[in-house]
Amino acid sequence: MKDVGYGGCVESPLRSPDLNPLDFFLWEYIKQRVHGTPPTTLQELRNCITDACASVSSAMLYNVQREVHSRVQMCIVAEGHHFEHDR
């Protein structure tokens, strides 16, 4: 798959959840926040998800951005193959 970056198109591995911040950070973060106090209605669930998204701080986003960079570097070293990372 090709991603468009500042330098043009760049090859990237297909189906790479370890490189996708939604997969390695956001969904798990929201799940932890929502399941802390399980909602009893659909509206409560919506509110919990909205509150969880709103609670993501600038510092958290900065750390996620650094983690993406680190994971991309590991992927490059592994030549696009599977790589291990600390969680």
Cα-Cα-Cα-Cα dihedral sign, residues 77, 81, 82, 87: positive
Number of structural domains in the chain: 1
Q: What is the pLDDT of residue 4?
A: 46
Question: Given a cut of 70, is residue 5 above it in pLDDT?
Answer: no
Cβ–Cβ < 8 Å for 83, 74:
yes
In a domain, 47, yes or no: yes
Spatial separation of the C-alpha atoms in residues 55 and 50, rounded to whole Å? 9
Does a structural domain hold residue 2? no
Range of the domain at 54: 17-78
pLDDT confidence band for 51 (50 / 70 / 90) = very high
58 found inside a domain: yes
Asked whether 2 and 10 are in contact (CB, 8 A), the reply is yes
**Cβ pair 74, 16 in contact under 8 A:** no
Whether residue 19 contacts residue 68, with contact meaning beta carbons closer than 8 Å, is answered with yes
Tell me the mean pLDDT in the region 69-76: 87
**Average pLDDT score, the chain:** 83
23-38 residue pLDDT tens: 889 999 999 999 888 8
Residue 22 lies in a domain: yes
Reported pTM: 0.66
